[in-house]
Structure formats: C-alpha cells, structure tokens
Chain A
Amino acid sequence: MTVEPVEIIRTPIRLEYDYTPGGARSRFLRGLEQGKILGERCPSCHKVYVGGGSGACARCGVPCTDVVPLPDTGTVTTFCVVNLPFAGATIEIPYTSASILIDGADIPLMALIQECPADHVRMGMRVEAVWVPDDERAPTMDTIRYFRPTGESDAPIDDVLKKMRDA
C-alpha cells in the first residue's frame, strides 16, 4: 500500500470550441492562404486595419469598405521577451513576441521575432515575414512562421508611434 499522503492532484481543464472568426478575420486568414497580408480601410478616417478585427472601424463605428493588400514588411513598435516556459509551448525560450506595424497599416499585428537573439530586438527594428512553403499555406496565423530582421536601418520610432496615434 502507498503510504505517502496525497498532496497534489491533477485537475486538467479542457474546453473545445467551434471558433468562427467572422467575416473580417476570415478575409484576412484567406489572404494569408494566398500569401498576402490584407488590411481593410475605414471609409471615414482612412485608417487601415490589419489582422482582421471586427470588420468595422473602432473609432468611426462604420464598416471598413476597402480591402488593401499590404507588403509583408513592417516595424517593431513594442515587444516582450518570454523567459518562462509554459505547457504547450512549441518554441525554445527566450523568444520574442512583438507588435509589428505592417507598412501601410495603422494598427500593429502581434507576431514572433526569430533569427535574431532576443536581446537584439528593439523598437523601430525593421522586420519581414517568413512564410511557410507555398504548398503548406493555410487560412491560419501559422502561415507566417515568424518575422525576422531585414537588416535595414531602424525606422525612427517616435515618428512611427506618432503615426499610429494620429492615424
């Protein structure tokens, strides 16, 4: 008979959802499947949203009308170096998660930065998307594996942040 008292129990929680991203995010994800980053422009303030939010402009409250193809390059506006391992993580620590303002967009996307030591990542760093091979593209965020430095000189971060505020 086991004599050790019980001190720890396993209480796993598992929830299964049918996730529906809605129209706007579906368009964005289908764009990724085509190897494109698609933004959507507000007809009123002309702000370009990317990442497929609600499909409406948060500021003006009107539906975005135009789909805008964007390049797969951008600027790091802020970032977080992850040093703690957690269950289900697929990347070695430390790694960097960053907000990236895609060129031509007015709000940033969240993505991983790789091919760059975590302590070299900085605000204003220029980055480009690294895609999965063409035949593996799917309507999922994993279609962009991560962003990596382009090697260009940094964007003037104050101007970039000001553009985001004023957009």
Chain B
Amino acid sequence: MSETARAGAATDVLSALHVLEYPYKRSVGPVIGRFLTGLRDGRIEGIKTVSGKVMVPPVEYDPETSASLSEFVDVGQAGVVTTWAWVAEPREYNPLREPFAWALIRLDGADTALLHAVCADESSMRTGMRVRARWKPERTGHITDIECFTPEDE
C-alpha cells in the first residue's frame, strides 16, 4: 500500500479461535479438605452447626452464629432432589456427556442440599425424587469423585 488508501473501504474482517485458560490450583482449607478426603474414601461428611443442623457440603463457620465449626458427621449416600434444572445439551466440561439435570440434593441426615448432577430420563425427574450417589472407581479427592446421582428406584 504505497499510497494513502481509504480506511473505510471494505475489509475482510478476521476471525480466530481465542482460548483463555487458567490452570488454577486451589487450596481448599481444613473443612472442605476433610470433605474431599471423605469423598476419596467413598464417604460423604457434613458438619454440625451450633443449633444442631447438619450442613452438606460442610462449612467452616456457623451461618447463624459465626462460630467456628468442627463436629463432622457422616450422612447418607442417598437423598431427595429439592430442585433441579434440565441440561438438554451438555457442554464439554459438564460432568456427563448425555443430557442430565443439575440438582440440589438433600442427603439423608442432612439439613442442607448439595449441588450435583442427576443422570436420569427427563420424564422421570421431579422434585422430591430419591437419588443415590454413583461413585467413580478411581477417586482423587474431588467433588467429581461422585460421578453423578441416579434415581434410587432403578
């Protein structure tokens, strides 16, 4: 372009794939650390608050009194779906390849609900349904050690 050209003239507008990737590692702290260690061993642990509620996943401080919490309790590996959302087209980084539901699951013995994936037919999904954890054979201490939850009546 030796001579001054018109800037506004038609230009082929470029397009390219841009990948933004952060290989984060996260320090989980003593309470979530113990929860994840439990998952690695195939157990699900909650924590008891001052008023006696059992929170799953456990938290470091009591949401009502702000007291530091340390009384861990095992909870059941099955529970009740308290609400859910259907994922018709899973994305690459979702836990399941086939359509599934994100659900809040109140495990037996717990007073709060855990967010996880439910592998089931959309037609069988309903609030109040019972589901059970399906574990991965190889566990590393991560929430994905529970592969998903499945309907208990299957």
Contacts and interface: CB of A to CB of B under 8 A. Distances in A.
Contacts of B40: 2, 6
Contacts of A26: 11-14
Interface residues of B, number: 34
B34 A5 contact: yes
Contacts of B88: none
A66 B28 contact: no
A127 B141 CA distance: 52
B2 A14 contact: no
A8 interface: yes
A18 interface: yes
Q: How large is the interface on A (under 10, 10 to 19, 20 to 34, 35 or more residues)?
A: 35 or more
Contacts, number: 116
Interface in B15-39: 15-28, 33-34, 36-37
B6 A65 contact: yes
27 contacts: A6-B37, A6-B40, A6-B142, A9-B141, A9-B142, A10-B25, A11-B24, A13-B22, A14-B19, A14-B20, A14-B93, A16-B18, A17-B19, A23-B13, A26-B12, A26-B13, A27-B7, A27-B11, A36-B1, A40-B7, A65-B7, A66-B5, A66-B7, A67-B6, A69-B2, A87-B22, A140-B16
Interface of A: 1-2, 5-27, 29-31, 34, 36, 38, 40-41, 55, 63-69, 87-88, 139-140
